[in-house]
């Protein structure tokens, strides 16, 4: 069910098996598995994450799917199987020893700050790509995720042999040109004039024939989500067929700061089942080390949910079939359809 204010008292009183912070590809997959393991799960989603901005996803079998379809479809599945859902922002997770207290900001205005309790925590809040900050951000959103890409692995194919602008957020990020050139050599590198470029990098770019333009962007040119050029602050412009933004990303991981999770270059270090250095905290998808791909996040959700289920199951008393029920079943053999009250499903 989707939680509203009127549910907070009841839901704060209970102990969830798992709270999933983040309702993107990884969090949704975890939620669907957990709900189908008949566990009590709450997904907390702030909205407008990377999946939300993603246009069509071309590499996730069996068919092209948009980011919105992915998150809406996954949410529908999770709710169908009994997961709880809260639209809110996870502010802080506190480890009390036996459980976590997860404080959520609910609504931007007239906010509530409910605290939900859980045995396990799954961090699936992902990251958000840094975009060029233009005066008119609508101009950026018009093209970002269409033919102004943010993920080389996802969309390099779409840039094959096209004239591509590489918008690099730092001198180090310019090195993306030397991976992008697997797909196309027609690369123009843009620094936005935001940082100096050393002689060695200049020489390497010159050797490869990739022009370097070091001035602010005024706006992207084009229409109907098809960018076909870039205009600079000085009024000059270039024509391009596509672009790649390589300006890094911001992790949504502030709520984890008190848990002291082991990281490597900012990425959360995990075991093969997505368990972090804290035995009851799992991290999925873009927050952890490894490829930032929808398929990986979805598998991560499977792995974390299954590992958690296994632990909870092993710690639970086995369910036995009480004799009266067996006898009732035996008696019913002769009749058309036995009437055994099986009770409500665990998860229901």
Q: Does residue 70 touch its own copies according to CB under 8 A?
A: yes
Q: Does residue 106 touch its own copies according to CB under 8 A?
A: no
Site map for its own copies, 237-256, x if CB under 8 A? xxx-----------------
Instruction: Return the number of other C-beta atoms located less than 10 Å from residue 290's C-beta.
Output: 13
b/e map of 301-311 (b: 16 or more CB within 10 Å)? bbbbbbbbbee
If we measure between CA atoms, which residue out of 40, 35, 39 comes closest to residue 13? 40
Cis bond before residue 29 (omega within 30° of 0): no
Rule CB under 8 A: choose which of 62, 196, 235, 265 binds its own copies: 62
If we measure between CA atoms, which residue out of 2, 17, 22 comes closest to residue 252? 22
Q: Give CA–CA dist 143/148, Å, rounded.
A: 5
Q: Does residue 338 touch its own copies according to CB under 8 A?
A: yes
Name every residue whose Cβ is closer than 8 Å to that of residue 238 and which is 6 or more positions away in sequence: 165, 188, 213, 229, 230
Q: Which stretch binds its own copies (CB under 8 A): 114-122, 139-147, 214-222, 333-341?
A: 333-341
Site map for its own copies, 284-303, x if CB under 8 A? ------xx-x-xx-xxxxxx
Rule CB under 8 A: choose which of 94, 233, 326, 331 binds its own copies: 326
Q: Give CA–CA dist 59/296, Å, rounded.
A: 12
Number of residues that bind its own copies (CB under 8 A): 85
Q: Does residue 93 touch its own copies according to CB under 8 A?
A: no
Q: Does residue 184 touch its own copies according to CB under 8 A?
A: yes
Site map for its own copies, 12-41, x if CB under 8 A? -------------x--xx--xx--xxx---
Q: Does residue 186 touch its own copies according to CB under 8 A?
A: yes
Q: Does residue 315 touch its own copies according to CB under 8 A?
A: no
């Amino acid at each position: 069910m989707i939680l509203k204010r009127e549910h907070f008292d009841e839901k704060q009183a209970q102990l969830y098996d798992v709270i999933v912070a983040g309702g993107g590809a990884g969090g949704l997959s975890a939620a669907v598995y957990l709900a189908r393991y008949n566990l009590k799960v709450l997904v907390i989603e702030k909205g407008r994450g990377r999946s939300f901005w993603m246009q069509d996803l071309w590499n996730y079998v069996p068919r092209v799917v948009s980011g919105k379809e992915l998150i809406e479809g996954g949410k529908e599945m999770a709710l169908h199987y009994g997961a709880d859902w809260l639209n809110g922002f996870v502010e802080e997770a506190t480890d009390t020893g036996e459980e976590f207290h997860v404080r959520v900001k609910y609504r931007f205005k007239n906010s509530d700050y409910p605290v939900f309790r859980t045995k396990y925590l799954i961090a699936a809040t992902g990251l958000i790509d840094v975009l060029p900050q233009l005066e008119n951000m609508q101009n950026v959103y018009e093209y970002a995720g269409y033919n102004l890409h943010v993920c080389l692995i996802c969309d390099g194919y779409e840039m094959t042999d096209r004239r591509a602008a590489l918008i690099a957020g730092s001198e180090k990020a310019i090195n993306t040109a030397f991976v992008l050139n697997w797909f196309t050599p027609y690369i123009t590198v843009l620094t936005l004039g935001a940082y100096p470029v050393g002689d060695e990098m200049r020489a390497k770019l010159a050797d490869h024939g990739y022009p370097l333009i070091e001035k602010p962007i005024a706006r992207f040119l084009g229409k109907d989500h098809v960018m076909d050029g870039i205009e600079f602050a000085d009024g000059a412009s270039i024509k391009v067929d596509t672009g790649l933004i390589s300006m890094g990303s911001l992790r949504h991981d502030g709520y984890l700061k008190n848990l002291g999770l082991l990281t490597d270059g900012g990425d959360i270090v995990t075991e093969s089942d997505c368990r972090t250095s804290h035995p009851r905290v799992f991290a999925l998808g873009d927050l952890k080390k490894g490829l930032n791909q929808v398929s990986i996040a979805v598998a991560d959700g499977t792995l974390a949910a299954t590992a958690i289920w296994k632990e909870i199951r092993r710690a639970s008393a086995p369910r036995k079939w009480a004799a009266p029920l067996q006898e009732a079943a035996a008696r019913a053999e002769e009749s058309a359809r036995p009437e055994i009250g099986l009770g409500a499903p665990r998860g229901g």
